[in-house]
Structure 1
Amino acid sequence: MREPEPSPEDLRLAARLAGLRAEHAWSLDDLAARSGVSRSTLSRLERAEISPTAAQLGRLCSAYGRTMSRLLAEVEAEPPQLLRAADQPVWQDTASGFVRRSVSPPHAGLRGELIEGTLRPAAAIDYDAPPVPGLEQHLWVLDGTLEITVRGESHLLAAGDCLRFRLWGPSRFHCPGPDPVRYVIAVVLP
């Protein structure tokens, strides 16, 4: 079975990942050691042979000291001041069931952004480390239930609940179901 052709977004992301590694003068082995993503997977990601999962992208963002939003914004055109719902960039990780909408993408000179996330029932995403230590986040659940673990403490959030925290270590997002969870994260860079 032949692999599907990469989308233009996948090609730009692959090129940016290769460019970041070159900017840091890291070999594939160096980046693999820093990110925990295998050398062969990194090579395939940089050639757009595969799309990264949310967890892989999270590990790479940690290695490069960037938020996922910042990295994804780097492969987009300069964002406009007004971003209509139909024009908001959407990224999907089919493996984990995670859909990420960049409601208010990062922009030079601004420290905040808004992200809408959706997880299907029983889906979970584990992040080994924050992309930027001390990253401030405000997570507001719109629909469904979300179990989030921060600093080793689990919080079960229902629609309308908000959790505020600074991210210093691993985190886990889990949708216990029975319905999908939809939430908004306000990210404020330190």
Structure 2
Amino acid sequence: MRSVAPPEATAPDPVDARLAARLAELRARHGWSLGELADRSGVSRSTLSRAERAEISPTAAVLNRLCHVYGRTMSQLLSEVEAEPAPVVRAADQPVWQDRASGFVRRSVSPPHAGLRGELVEGRLAPGADLAYDRPPVAGLEQHIWVLDGALEVTVQETAHRLESGDCLRMRVWGPTRFRSTGTARARYLLAVVRP
């Protein structure tokens, strides 16, 4: 009988590995156990533990909850695991992150930079994708959403705004938000984020 070699473990994506290390570092800096962070964020201990060991890539919703607890925007957190930002960010060098579970792709067009409060993000949602956040990462965050292609429904607290190509929604985020791709094609939009 021939023996079969066990499947090789695949190494985590380098960005996921750096993100895992940063999440563990932030929790340690606050002196919280996994249980304390789970209580503060509403994310299970198991998910937090696996994310900190780079066994899973956290979803956008999980990252949003952690950003809220740590008082950061998602872009700030992701920029902390990427190289030092340059004044000119070439298209090929703009970091891309995916939430495969929700069909969300996020490109950091103009990542956060020390001394600047604004940033630009390109978001892409697959047809029918639905992305919900239960709270903003930073209360009072200013956002401008400009739809470039497709159709997008953005719900701010309980008010739904249907946006078509060329439309722009301006808002300050205090509560839950939801992004839904409502057309038959992917929705692509530019998100301008300004920290309070």
- In the other structure, the counterpart of 1:118 is 124
Superimposed CA distance per residue, residues 50-72 of structure 1 (whole angstroms, 9 cap, x where no aligned partner) = 10011111111111111000000
Structure 1 equivalent of residue 33 of structure 2? 27
CA deviation digits over 1:73-116, x for unaligned, max 9? 00011111001111100001111000000000001100000000
Q: Report 1:99-138 matches (<5 A).
A: 99-138=105-144
CA distance, structure 1, for counterparts of residue 126 and residue 164 of structure 2? 15
Residue 154 (structure 2) aligns with:
148
Q: Please say if 1:73 is aligned against 2:89.
A: no
Residue ranges of structure 1 left out of the alignment (5+ in a row): none
- 1:11 aligns with one of 9, 14, 17: 17
Q: Distance in 2 between matches of 1:62 and 1:2?
A: 36
1:63 to 60, 69, 83: 69
Is residue 2:102 matched to residue 1:96? yes
> Which one of the candidate residues 183, 190, 194 is aligned to 1:188?
194
> Could you tell me which residue of structure 2 aligns to residue 160 of structure 1?
166
Q: Which has the larger radius of gyration?
A: 2
Secondary structure of the residue that 1:179 maps to in structure 2? coil
Structure 1 position 174 matched with structure 2 position 171:
no
Alpha-carbon offset, residue 41 of structure 1: 0.5
Q: Which runs of 5+ in 2 are unaligned?
A: 1-6
Task: Measure, in 2, the Cα distance between the counterparts of 1:100 and 1:50.
Answer: 18
Q: Report the alpha carbon displacement of residue 3 of structure 1 after superposing the two structures with TM.
A: 5.7
SS of the residue corresponding to residue 58 of structure 1 reads helix
The residue matched to 1:136 in structure 2 has which SS? strand
- Residue-by-residue CA offset, 1:143-162 (whole Å, 9 max, x unaligned): 00000100210000000000
Partner amino acid for 1:181?
A: A
Cα deviation, residue 2, structure 1: 6.4
1:139 to 145, 166, 170: 145
Residues 105, 47 of structure 1: alpha-carbon distance in 2 compared, 3 angstrom cutoff: same
What SS is found at the alignment partner of 1:79? coil
1:129 to partner: Cα distance: 0.6
How many pairs were matched up? 190
Please state whether the residue corresponding to 1:116 is helix, strand or coil: strand
CA distance in 1, matches of 2:8, 2:182: 35
Equivalent residue, structure 1, for 2:47: 41
What letter is aligned with 1:182? R
TM, length-normalised to structure 1: 0.97
Distance 1:3 1:175, change over 3 A: farther
- In structure 2, the residue matched to 1:86 is 92
Which amino acid counterpart does residue 122 of structure 2 have in structure 1? E
Give the SS at the match of 2:78: helix
SS in 1 for 2:63: helix
Letter in 2 for 1:188: V
